[in-house]
Structure 1
Amino acid sequence: MEYKALIIDDEPPARSIIRAYLKKHTSINIVGECANGFEAIKSIKELQPHILFLDIQMPKVTGLELLEVIDEPLQVVFTTAYDQYALKAFELNAVDYLLKPFDEKRFDDAVQKVLDKLQSGVHSNQEQIEQMEDARPEKLERIVVKKGTKLELIDLDNLLYIEAQDDYVMLHSENGRFLKSKTMKYFEEHLPEEQFIRIHRSYIVNTSKIKSLEPYDKDTYLAIINPNCKLKVSRTGYKKLKATMDF
């Protein structure tokens, strides 16, 4: 069986090396190359590859951010110059992680792992990807969402609030609403706490967007974002707001 591969890296020399190393792997057909995540999301939809050779540190959208919004089951081999938190996560061999500059033998080993999984019917490493993403220690500076076959970046300053939606969350921004497959707990832990507060089990709010608080019921309030947006504030949420804002 022939498997389709897509190379995603912003550096042309890095893409060339992967192309050269893949020549002898006749069961893998390179169906495309992309220099950034915006090109990649469209190519993945159109070309439907089985394998991604994916750089992590890229301008505009990182490799990890791209994987957050990919629905297709894929095998991913990371190729990156940065030896950080991801290396240990990928020692599980669910996916592989090539540290640049890597030699041909190391590349061949990674390709063989991917082929073994594909041939054995293991088509997705999404669970391991999500575990690694959730374990990232740093705070978010933006949020990547998919709109049709395009990527959109939500700047945190433009994010109004986040609403729980079963196994998803709805991101309410100044540019519209976007559904994302993440938990409220994830955003609680990864958004800057000085700017975002969980005011209710259903809401995390950008405190800079709150115009006022209005009494709603006994010991409860509404956070007024605008005349058409009023969010319930729990007792615990109210205490958090009082501790950080001048209400």
Structure 2
Amino acid sequence: MRIIIVDDEVLARGVVREYLAEHADVEIVAECANGFEAVKAIAELEPDLAILDIQMPKLDGFEVAELAAGKCRFMFATAFDQYAIKAFEYHALDYLLKPFSQQRFDQALAHARASLGQAQEGLREVVRDAAGRGKPLGRVLIRDGAKVHVIAAEKIDYIEAQDDYVQIRTEGKSYLKNQSLFELESQLEAGKFLRIHRSYLLNIECMSRIEQAGKDSHVAVLKDGTRLPISRSGYQKMRSVIQ
């Protein structure tokens, strides 16, 4: 079994490495000190299992699991018990609460072996934390091969639906993300991001003005001059927000 260890604490990585040394069938293919390193290592090395801390700099363990979905299976190791339910929504094989013993670790590893020995379907699309659904998304993560783009929600100008993807426009650049416009709309701040058209979600703070384009049609003119169509229902939403 090929494993990567992901933890920002050197001592914590050392404990996992020591416990894994008791298992002859295990190969540690990488050790990562943050989420960015982990996503890159998973994409390049395709391990069977990642043993992940949750609270880490740059990207946390759940963000790593989202970006690396389908590449490997995950086991979380953390000092905090409040994330347990969320971890299993990410299809985690186990949840180790620090400090854990060799015996507890061996049990988790045995469970991982059994799961990996079965026919694998990979990880499903991540299920968002039910308790956090009322909290707007603060940043959007986009995987681009081994690279990860982290875009602050407030920096997004608008989002356009493109088949099974969305195109996110921010600071003069465009990024494609494999996600539906409806799903992103439900995650971003409702008072700030407005569905002005079936294909467009607009950050209203980036809008300069509304212009009439025809008898019953309007366009939103952004501060950079971009013009986006507004549907009739979108126009009613904008009027209620602006007023």
TM value normalised by structure 2? 0.88
Instruction: Mark the runs of 5 or more structure 2 residues left unpaired by the alignment.
Output: none
Range with bigger deviation, 217-226 or 88-97: 88-97
Q: Which residue of 2 aligns with 1:114?
A: 112
Aligned AA (2:177): K
Secondary structure of the equivalent of 1:214?
strand
The alignment-based identity, stated in percent, is 40
Q: How far, CA to CA, are the matches of 1:150 and 1:105 in structure 2?
A: 37
Say whether the 8 Å CA contact 1:81–1:99 is kept in structure 2: yes
Aligned AA (2:227): K
Q: How many residues matched?
A: 242
Say whether the 8 Å CA contact 2:42–2:71 is kept in structure 1: no
Say whether the 8 Å CA contact 2:35–2:59 is kept in structure 1: yes
CA RMSD of aligned residues (A): 2.4
Once superposed, which parts of structure 1, at least 4 consecutive aligned residues long, lie more than 6 Å away? none
Could you give the per-residue CA deviations for residues 161-196 of structure 1, whole angstroms, max 9, x where no partner exists? 111122221111115211112222222221112211
- Alignment counterpart, residue 155 of structure 2, candidates 151, 158, 182: 158
Instruction: Mark the runs of 5 or more structure 1 residues left unpaired by the alignment.
Output: none
Q: Which residue of 2 aligns with 1:22?
A: 20
Could you give the per-residue CA deviations for residues 88-140 of structure 1, whole angstroms, max 9, x where no partner exists? 6618975222222223233222211211121122252x21x612458742321
Q: Which residue of 1 aligns with 2:3?
A: 5
Q: What is the correspondence of 1:109-188 to structure 2 with a 5 Å cutoff?
A: 109-122=107-120, 124=122, 126-127=123-124, 130-132=126-128, 136-137=132-133, 138-188=135-185
Q: Which residue of 1 aligns with 2:39?
A: 41
Secondary structure of the equivalent of 1:130?
coil
Q: How far, CA to CA, are the matches of 1:30 and 1:231 in structure 2?
A: 50
Q: How far, CA to CA, are the matches of 2:87 and 2:67 in structure 1?
A: 20
Q: How far, CA to CA, are the matches of 2:176 and 2:55 in structure 1?
A: 25
Say whether the 8 Å CA contact 1:73–1:123 is kept in structure 2: no
- Aligned in 2, Cα 1:237/1:106: closer, same or farther, shift over 3 Å? farther
Aligned AA (2:150): L
Report the Cα offset of residue 160 of structure 1.
0.8
- Aligned in 2, Cα 1:160/1:14: closer, same or farther, shift over 3 Å? same
